[in-house]
């Protein structure tokens, strides 16, 4: 019989290894997930964070999300963003004029990156993507281009008949610098077949990322919890990610540079209409527990970001005490999880000064970074934040208009 005392002894033994910098196994991760005290997990996750990213800086990125099209044929059960081909009321493809406006607005707000993702739009040939990246890179050479999650790359391969390697090589040649880790959700096909059966499956998601690592592209990994998955599914996702990361680092010296997780938002989606609707999603405590487990388990992945857009700033702040060393990005515009009920629907943007306030109040020092997590500027003292006032003035003018997605700047 396993007693409470022996469970605690096992927890202490595993956590002591984490504090000493050791790796934990799948079974140990599952054991901690089930039995460990939340605050003990936070403490161990912070120890892991200090082993990988020592110090008291918390980084963030000034960037803009751009969803270039919402037309999609993939029908994910958790998505309220997409429109089917032919839906002229809801469907859109951003023109270069609109994209240019969005990028210029972002540059004025100090952005160093754009992150572009969209639906699987059958009306767009592969040349569209090449032309898009090429045009952005030539017109706005200062901005980093992170674009197209593995499922979009797979779709481009399908419509063009090209391999993932050819697709990624050609995109890289015209200016693509990295791939977002979107579309990861739970990387376990048992769950994917239930909530997004037409979307990329686990092996292919990692297959695309493997080629990206080989080609030297910057990548991140994501994870979404709350699909009525069991803890073993979550651990399967983390285990596969850690294994692939070991392999990519060994073979190419390049792997995922960050991990971010959040809880699924289901408002207005088919999942909200299912008879299990009340069982979807995850509480803040669950999110924090998961964040800590991920930080402890993923000992080969340097950075973990807090997710304020879905969890809210307060939980985002707490996540900094559960092993996160990064506060994500300003986003400026977010349409996908927002249309499914995320916090961004109410407050679609967090300006640098507000990010600084959140980081400082949590007891850390804000530092602006780029996509590669190189620190661009450290804001040691609160007085240093004053220089961000200009951005605030620009943003306040835009906020008055009440629509961040179509942000217009007043100079
Ligand atoms: S989540 Fe992405 S792939 Fe799935 S339906 Fe929405 S836009 Fe399409």
| pLDDT for the residue numbered 346 | 45
Collapse the DSSP code of 303 into the 3-class scheme (helix H, G, I; strand E, B; otherwise coil) and give the result.
strand
| pLDDT for the residue numbered 385 | 87
φ, ψ (nearest 5 deg) of residue 133: -65, -45
| pLDDT for the residue numbered 406 | 42
Q: Would you say 323 and 53 are in contact if contact means Cβ atoms under 8 Å apart?
A: no
Pocket of ligand 1 contains residue 79 by CB under 6 Å = yes
Q: Which atom of ligand 1 is nearest to the CA of 196?
A: 4
Pocket of ligand 1 contains residue 72 by CB under 6 Å = yes
The alpha carbon of 74 and the centre of ligand 1 are apart by a number of angstroms equal to: 6
Pocket of ligand 1 contains residue 296 by CB under 6 Å = no
C-alpha distances in angstroms, 189 versus 192, 195, 229, 237, 346?
5, 10, 11, 10, 33
Beta bridge partners of 65: 115
| pLDDT for the residue numbered 344 | 54
Tokens of 19: 């504090």
Nearest CA to 136 out of 103, 166, 106 is that of 103
Tokens of 247: 């392999």
C-alpha distances in angstroms, 312 versus 174, 327, 341, 342?
36, 11, 12, 9
Pocket of ligand 1 contains residue 120 by CB under 6 Å = yes
Best residue among 73, 81, 151 to mutate for probing ligand 1's pocket (most ligand atoms within 8 Å of CB) is: 81
- Alpha-carbon span 326 to 252, nearest angstrom: 25
DSSP 343-393: GGGTS----HHHHHHHHHHTT-EEEEE-TT--EEEE--SGGGGGGGHHHHH
C-alpha distances in angstroms, 337 versus 80, 224, 314, 358?
8, 11, 18, 22
| pLDDT for the residue numbered 350 | 80
Handedness of CA 307, 310, 313, 319 (dihedral sign): negative
Beta bridge partners of 64: 114
Environment class of 1 (CB within 10 Å of its CB; exposed 0-12, middle 13-18, buried 19+)? exposed
| pLDDT for the residue numbered 410 | 26
Query: Which residue is closest in CA terms to ligand 1's atom 6?
Result: 79
E-assigned strands of 141-291? 144-147, 178-179, 218-225, 256-263
pLDDT tens, per residue, the chain with 411 residues: 568 889 999 999 999 999 999 999 999 999 999 999 999 999 999 999 999 999 999 999 999 999 999 999 999 999 999 999 999 999 999 999 999 999 998 898 889 999 999 999 999 999 999 999 999 999 999 999 999 999 999 999 999 999 999 999 999 999 999 999 999 999 999 999 999 999 999 999 999 999 999 999 999 999 999 999 999 999 999 999 999 999 999 999 999 999 999 999 888 899 999 999 999 999 999 999 999 999 999 999 999 999 988 888 999 999 999 999 999 988 776 666 556 655 555 445 688 888 999 999 999 999 999 999 999 999 999 888 887 877 767 766 665 654 444 443 322
| pLDDT for the residue numbered 195 | 96
- Alpha-carbon span 43 to 49, nearest angstrom: 10
Query: Which residue is closest in CA terms to ligand 1's atom 4?
Result: 76
Q: Would you say 291 and 301 are in contact if contact means Cβ atoms under 8 Å apart?
A: no
Domains of the chain and CATH, by start: 58-400 (3.20.20.70)
């Amino acid at each position: 019989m396993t007693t409470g005392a022996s469970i605690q002894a096992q927890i202490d033994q595993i956590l002591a290894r984490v504090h000493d910098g050791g790796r934990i196994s799948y079974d140990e991760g599952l054991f901690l997930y089930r039995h460990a005290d939340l605050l003990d997990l936070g403490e161990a996750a912070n120890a892991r964070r200090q082993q990988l990213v020592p110090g008291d800086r918390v980084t963030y990125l000034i960037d803009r999300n751009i969803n270039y099209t919402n037309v999609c044929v993939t029908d994910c059960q958790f998505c309220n963003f997409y429109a089917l081909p032919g839906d002229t009321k809801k469907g859109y493809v951003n023109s270069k004029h609109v994209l240019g406006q969005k990028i210029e607005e972002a540059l004025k707000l100090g952005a160093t990156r754009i992150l572009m993702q969209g639906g699987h739009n059958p009306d767009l040939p592969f040349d569209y993507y090449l032309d898009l990246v090429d045009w952005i890179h030539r017109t706005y050479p200062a901005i980093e281009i992170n674009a197209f999650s593995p499922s979009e790359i797979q779709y481009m391969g399908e419509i063009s008949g090209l391999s993932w390697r050819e697709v990624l090589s050609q995109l890289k040649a015209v200016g693509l610098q990295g791939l977002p880790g979107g579309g990861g959700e739970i990387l376990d096909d048992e769950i994917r077949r239930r909530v997004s059966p037409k979307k990329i499956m686990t092996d292919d998601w990692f297959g695309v990322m493997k080629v990206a690592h080989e080609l030297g592209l910057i990548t991140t990994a994501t994870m979404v919890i709350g699909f009525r998955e069991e803890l073993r599914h979550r651990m399967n996702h983390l285990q596969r990610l850690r294994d692939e990361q070991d392999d990519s680092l060994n073979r190419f010296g390049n792997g995922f540079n960050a991990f971010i997780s959040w809880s699924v938002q289901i408002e207005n989606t088919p999942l909200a209409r299912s008879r299990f609707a009340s069982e979807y999603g995850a509480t803040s405590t669950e999110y924090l527990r998961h964040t800590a487990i991920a930080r402890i388990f993923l000992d080969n992945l340097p950075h973990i970001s807090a997710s304020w857009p879905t969890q809210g700033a307060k939980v985002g702040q707490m996540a900094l005490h559960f092993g996160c060393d990064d506060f994500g990005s300003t986003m400026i515009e977010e349409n996908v999880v927002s249309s499914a009920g995320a916090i961004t629907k109410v407050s679609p943007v967090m300006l640098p000064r507000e990010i600084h306030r959140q980081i400082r109040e949590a007891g850390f020092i804000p530092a602006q970074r780029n996509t590669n997590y190189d620190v661009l500027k450290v804001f040691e003292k609160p007085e240093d934040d004053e220089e961000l006032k200009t951005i605030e003035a620009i943003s306040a003018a835009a906020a008055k208009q009440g629509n961040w997605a179509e942000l217009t700047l007043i100079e």
